[in-house]
Amino acid sequence: MTRRAHAGGAAPPRAPHPPSTRLFDDETDCARAGARDQLAEQAVVLRGYALARATRLLAAVRIIQSTAPFRFMTTPGGQAMSAAQTNCGDLGWVSDARGYRYVPSDPASGRHWPPMPDTFRTLAREAAATAGFDRYEPDACLINCY
């Protein structure tokens, strides 16, 4: 059965890979860790910024996924997203036939998204300040698993 043919066009469930740091540990990024690349006004890449916290961040992701498991959401057109996703914080980003939006509860379970861990909140505030956004207060965190 094709992915499109499953359940009336919805993508079949599949297990995401376990979270890892592999996306960020190639030689180029490691060699440039700490670099601040200004792409445009108000657009900054902080290379390797979270690497020192990777162990704590991944531990927090494992706790989050125990109550809000990763899932492959669908686009408004019915296609499966390429990354499995979950959320934490006051709001979570979702995609389905009704469109893209932020919602306070997990549509799969009806429960509120797990609270944003302090590790995430601190990282977001510090990274935003480093990028020039001193008063940033995170309220949502979308987590992708590739």
Q: pLDDT tens across 19-40, in order?
A: 554 545 555 555 566 677 888 8
Given a cut of 90, whether residue 10 has pLDDT beyond it is no
Given a cut of 50, whether residue 8 has pLDDT beyond it is no
CB 104 within 8 A of CB 90: yes
User: pTM for the full model?
Assistant: 0.76
pLDDT tens for each residue of 70-79: 999 999 999 9
- How many alpha carbons lie under 13 Å from residue 131 in its C-beta half-sphere? 21
- At 123, phi and psi to the nearest 5? -60, -45
Report the pLDDT averaged over residues 83-112.
96
Residues above pLDDT 70, as percent of the chain: 77
Report how many helices (DSSP H) and strands (DSSP E) the chain contains, helices first: 3, 6
**Rounded distance between C-alpha atoms, residue 40 and residue 36, angstroms:** 12
The CATH number of the structural domain formed by 19-145 is: 2.60.120.590
Nearest by Cα to 69 from 97, 91, 88: 88
Q: CB burial class (10 A; 0-12, 13-18, 19+) of residue 56?
A: middle
- Please count the other Cβ atoms lying within 10 Å of the Cβ belonging to residue 41: 7
Given a cut of 50, whether residue 145 has pLDDT beyond it is yes
